[in-house]
Amino acid sequence: MPSLIISRSAEPAPDWRAFAEANGTFYHRPEWVQCLADVYRLRLSCYSARQDGELHGILAVAEIPPLLGPRRLVSLPFSYAAGPLAFDAATASALSVAVLEEARERRISRVEIKSRGEHPSAPGFQRASRYATYEIPTEGGESVVWSQLHGSSTQRSIKKARKAGLEIRRGDTGNDWLIMAELEERTAHGHGLPAPPRRFFVEGCRRLQSAGLADLYLALTRSGASAAAITIWKGPRSWIYAFGASDPVHLEHRPNHLLIWTAIQDAVSAGRHFDMGRAAPEQEGLVEFKRRWGGQAIPLAYDYWPAPAGLNLAPRNRGSMAAVAAVWSRLPAGIARLGSGLYRYLG
């Protein structure tokens, strides 16, 4: 049997795109990998596994520079599951071990491999299965998906938004993406979190959109005010609800519900599932929100070297993370906006 050859490069190999399209998710796409590197100025290591020159597996990791903690290799930052994409468990394991060897060689203290858990963890890693993502199946068509929405909350909120006369339109200009960025800043601040830098939306997301990998949906009031916006990642099998942001003044009209439903309708038409995104078990309100859309839990498997510790295991609803969020949400908006410079350290 031909031996497996693992190679490493600073950017995805030329045949990476076709392999990711055929076998992976949005987070495996080379356009996403390169977007992260460009916007957040991150060093990439892109691993390819080959037998007789044929690609059998891929894995990208980015180096997260130190802020308060050590340097880390992460697959991938701001991606809930982008671990090894391989034809078999042995190839997936070999890719992860190659990352571990790089970390030791470069004296990097931590490695985090985030995946859906299709394969066992590689030697040297410790697995944690704390998170899940929530995916809405769409095979039955729009009427079946609608019937699975929670009647007295989700369906009612969509109907309320329609009654309020909200207009949903797709955005694709630089100004449209700036609206998304500004709404996200306001929303993240309210949640006690720094927002991505505006450049991520105005340049990175717009570039992904031009490649057919992202979309922007805007909700406008009758007067033309921007009530809310969502960003969608468009993978080959599932579309992912990536960002949702709104103006608190218009929340009573439930603009986010109508935005999400419109995106789900488009996913159904495109023959794609719709992924509501990741949540931790203690985020009970968020988990319930995703379930009320018909989201079905898919456990995620995160492999750590050495053992997970600190923020990897910290609950989001209490303790240090909750305390930091409470302080951040009380900062003046102008100061909080400067926190976008911290975002690259959070992946």
Tens-digit pLDDT profile for residues 67-92 = 767 899 999 999 999 999 999 999 99
3-state secondary structure the chain: CCCCEEEEECCCCCCHHHHHHHHCCHHHCHHHHHHHHHHHCCEEEEEEEEECCEEEEEEEEEEECCCCCCCEEEECCCCCCCCCEECCHHHHHHHHHHHHHHHHHHCCCEEEEEECCCCCCCCCCEEECCCEEEEECCCCCHHHHHHCCCHHHHHHHHHHHHHCCCEEEEECCHHHHHHHHHHHHHHHHHCCCCCCCHHHHHHHHHHHHHCCCEEEEEEECCCCCEEEEEEEEECCCEEEEEEEEECHHHHHHCHHHHHHHHHHHHHHHHCCEEEEEEECCCCHHHHHHHHCCCCEEEECEEEEECCCCHHHCCCCCCHHHHHHHHHHHCCCHHHHHHHHHHHHHCC
Q: What is the pLDDT of residue 261?
A: 98
Confidence of residue 311 (pLDDT cuts 50, 70, 90): low
Percent of the chain at pLDDT exceeding 70: 93
For residue range 186-220, list pLDDT tens digits in order: 998 888 888 999 999 999 999 999 999 999 999 99
Mean pLDDT of 117-132: 91
Whether the model clears a pTM of 0.75, i.e. scores above it, the answer is yes
Confidence of residue 236 (pLDDT cuts 50, 70, 90): very high
For residue range 264-293, list pLDDT tens digits in order: 999 999 999 999 999 998 899 999 999 999
pLDDT over 80 (residue 99): yes
Confidence of residue 296 (pLDDT cuts 50, 70, 90): very high
Mean pLDDT of 90-102: 97
For residue range 35-70, list pLDDT tens digits in order: 999 999 999 999 999 999 999 999 999 999 987 678
**Across all residues in the chain, what is the average pLDDT?**
92
Q: What is the pLDDT of residue 231?
A: 98
Q: What is the pLDDT of residue 318?
A: 60
Between 118 and 96, the higher pLDDT residue: 96
Q: What is the pLDDT of residue 234?
A: 98
Confidence of residue 1 (pLDDT cuts 50, 70, 90): low
For residue range 148-172, list pLDDT tens digits in order: 999 999 999 999 999 999 999 999 9
Q: What is the pLDDT of residue 332?
A: 75
